[in-house]
Structure 1
Amino acid sequence: MTSREPGPADDCRVEIADNPEGRFYELRYGDQAVGMLVYETAGSRRVLTHTTIREEYRGRGWSKLLIRFALDDLAGRGVTITNYCPVVDRFIEENPGYAQLIDRDHPGNWGRSGR
């Protein structure tokens, strides 16, 4: 699945795609790889390990755009997640509708801090 979305910081466009061979969702700005959300596959679950945005592109809201795209993609596929990424944790806290994607038997770090 790929998407061309308006960039949060300006009217340029970014592209987000799942790279299943590399096990990451990638955010590209023009010809630059700007960020990724890395995952592992465990059965039918995705284990989200970390999200990164290149330093010079931080502060534009692109991590939120990347995470939203990935979670929407996984929800559309009926996939649950195990989350170890604190950036994804914060995103789900701010957007609680995505909490339903957390695998109850394998939540990862989700729920360990009193959520």
Structure 2
Amino acid sequence: MARPGLERPRTRAPDSQERWGIVVDQRGHDQVVESHLTIWLGPATAQYPQMHGGSIACTLRAAADWVHGYEGGLAVAEAVDAGTFDAGAGRLQLLAALSAAETIEAAARGA
């Protein structure tokens, strides 16, 4: 079952095996980031945004000892927090970095 806000188009291949298509996430930026942090990063590292005043950058920094591969997301989050990087562009890059890190970590554990 898909999570609320996600659409998963399904098609049938000629061999009648079910195939999954593109996932389109209809949730807002903050909900997607919160999902990455609370469903993936938090359980993997025991670090959650509420433990760090809601700061994504602080959460990622604290989690760095456990999960590697999202350094790009950490750099973007810190630059946005410091006001040295455009928040709009930073939001997109942060999502990309978190998605890539989660995918890399899942592949490394054989998921």
Q: TM-score, normalised by structure 2?
A: 0.28
Specify the structure having the higher radius of gyration (Cα): 2
Q: TM-score, normalised by structure 1?
A: 0.28
Which is helix-richer, 1 or 2? 2
Structure holding more strand per residue:
1
